[in-house]
Amino acid sequence: MGALFGSNYIPGNRVETLVNGNQIFPSMLQAIREARQTISFETYIYWRGAIAEDFAGALSTKAREGVSVNVLLDWVGSLPMEERLIERMRAAGVKVVRFRPVNWYTLDRVNNRTHRKLLIVDGRIGFTGGVGIADEWNGDARSPSEWRDNHYRVEGPAVAEFQAAFAEHWIEATGELLMGDRFFPQLVAAGEHAAQVVVSSTHQRNVMHLMLMTALASAQRSVRIATPYFVPDELMRRQILDARKRGVDIRIIVPGPQIDVRIVRKASRHLWGDLLRAGVKISEFQPTFFHCKLVIVDDIWTSVGSTNIDDRALRLNDEANINLFDRDFAGTQMAVFDRDAASSKPYTFSDWQDRSAQQKFSDWLSSLARSQI
């Protein structure tokens, strides 16, 4: 992995797993409120509601205190955001920038969004994962109005890699270079985890796709995948099937009836036949929309971050993941995966065969758009 992506595993990190909004948002907001010098915040989704107000308020307060606060919002993902929240932050001194706004002369890049979720405080504390800034993620996944997700708080040398990923997009969007000890302080070991930060950008080769292919090709015993959008391309399906021929136990959790983009569920289901026939175990999460992004291979390698298993994430969007080659961390993620599996309904090859003719046609029709979903 280090040779392929030019980013080696960096020792000395502490990675804390945050489960659902009840844990995620208080931890992020606390880090913001304790900031002393800099806050770098990049997100795809920033919508409206109480959580959106809380973040705007916390970021504005720190800017008024003299902290350098840089906020990068994807233009498409933040379209539902209330403009007054941006005006509120800018009035307080927050630098708020829309990433790759759509104009007539940028239509060729309208598909290339930042899907990264990064928060870096004082260059020392980093967050990444799947959560967006919206009330849909608040709560504890107890009902359809409380989405299920994971996020990760990181301390240690790997945080500098998060900051570098943010700086890459910030200079593209603003022309401003982030540098110096405020953004890149000297970092010492904060824990026992060795971590590798992998970022993809649309102007580079697709490292996320290569990373997942490499992980699947290396699997010897088990693969666990949790993803809200599972629309694997032909190469990934081939790797999964080859792993099954090697006897690898493969289990995948995807959303059930509660999903924000129904065409994705249909397009995904169209592709399940060969996988289910080969013994891949696919389960649909039942309580609410499932938005976790997690890959675990052989109970020792784990990848978490913003990346989904679809063409949009693997070929179109800019993403950021953190990989850990760590048996203890993989064990904690397996426990999280198993809890989600217990709340999921297995989908069998018989279920797939028994779909109505109308369902099969609808699934096939949806799959024609899979390069864009």
Q: Which residues are known catalytic residues? A: 115, 117, 122, 291, 293, 298
322 three-state secondary structure? strand
Spatial CB neighbours of 40, under 8 Å, sequence gap ≥ 6:
70, 72, 118, 119, 120, 163, 166, 167, 170, 178, 183
Please answer whether residues 289 and 274 qualify as being in contact, where contact means their C-beta atoms are separated by less than 8 angstroms.
Answer: no
| CB burial readout 204-213, b (16+ within 10 A) else e | eebbbbbbbb
- Phi, psi for 292 (deg, rounded to 5): -75, 150
Tokens 């705007």 belong to which residue?
A: 56
Helix (DSSP H) and strand (DSSP E) numbers for the chain: 13, 15
**73 burial level (CB within 10 Å; 0-12, 13-18, 19+):** buried
What residue type is 157 in one-letter code?
A: P
DSSP state of 278: T
Q: What is the rounded distance in angstroms from the CA atom of residue 331 to the CA atom of residue 219?
A: 16
Tokens 């927050």 belong to which residue?
A: 94
Q: Which stretch of DSSP H or E encloses residue 30? A: helix 20-33
Tokens 């070991």 belong to which residue?
A: 189
End-to-end Cα distance, the chain: 27
What separation in angstroms does the CA of 86 have from each of 38, 49, 51, 65, 93?
Answer: 19, 14, 14, 18, 11
345 HSE (CA, 13 A, CB side): 9
